[in-house]
């Protein structure tokens, strides 16, 4: 996503070499310096610069847990992404490591497309992850390794909401993944308890 050369940039270069006064030449240098700075800043884009509606394609280079990944795009920029609409067990919870391994088996070192739905308070893109058209977020729920996180239901398509909910119920009834344990604790409750214990 390199910055395009604008008419203003071209005029600044022309002015730099053709202007008679030093003041005009200095102004042209300032315009060029600002354009160079903008290009440099854009080329060093960070995950915090993501916004809703942004799409990232790249290779998964890290899997932090059952719902957080790092993607490296073609310009070698890294994006930390949290899978939208799901919440997987924390690493310290039962099935936390299993959820992470399952996600890793699905997408690690593979090229995915991430549709950013939101940006969370940690500046991670909250995204719908697809591998060859397959909804990876849904796959985690279907395998019984994540909850359907309904907190952001207003941002999820109605059909997708119903599909995720049905996958959760099927996994629970089939005692898949974390549903093998009796009284599985949702990760949001686990996190709240951890914060209260500090």
Active site residues: 82, 90, 124
Is residue 75 exposed (0-12), middle (13-18) or buried (19+ Cβ within 10 Å)? exposed
CA 120/CA 125 separation, integer angstroms: 7
């Amino acid at each position: 996503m390199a910055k395009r050369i604008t008419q203003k940039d071209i005029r600044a270069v022309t002015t730099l070499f053709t202007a008679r006064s030093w003041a005009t030449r200095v102004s042209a240098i300032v315009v060029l310096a600002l354009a160079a700075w903008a290009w440099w800043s854009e080329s060093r884009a960070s995950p915090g610069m993501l916004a809703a509606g942004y799409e990232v394609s790249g290779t998964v280079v890290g899997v932090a847990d059952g719902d957080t990944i790092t993607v490296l795009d073609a310009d070698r920029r890294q994006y930390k992404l949290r899978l939208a609409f799901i919440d997987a067990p924390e690493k310290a919870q039962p099935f936390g490591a299993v959820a992470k391994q399952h996600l890793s088996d699905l997408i690690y070192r593979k090229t995915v497309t991430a549709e950013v739905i939101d940006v969370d308070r940690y500046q991670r893109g909250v995204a719908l992850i697809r591998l060859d058209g397959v909804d990876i977020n849904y796959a985690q729920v279907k395998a019984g390794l994540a909850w359907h996180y309904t907190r952001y239901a207003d941002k999820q398509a109605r059909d997708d909401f119903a599909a995720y909910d049905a996958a959760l119920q099927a996994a629970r009834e089939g005692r898949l993944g974390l549903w093998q344990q009796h009284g599985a604790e949702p990760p949001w409750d686990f996190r709240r308890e951890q914060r209260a214990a500090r």
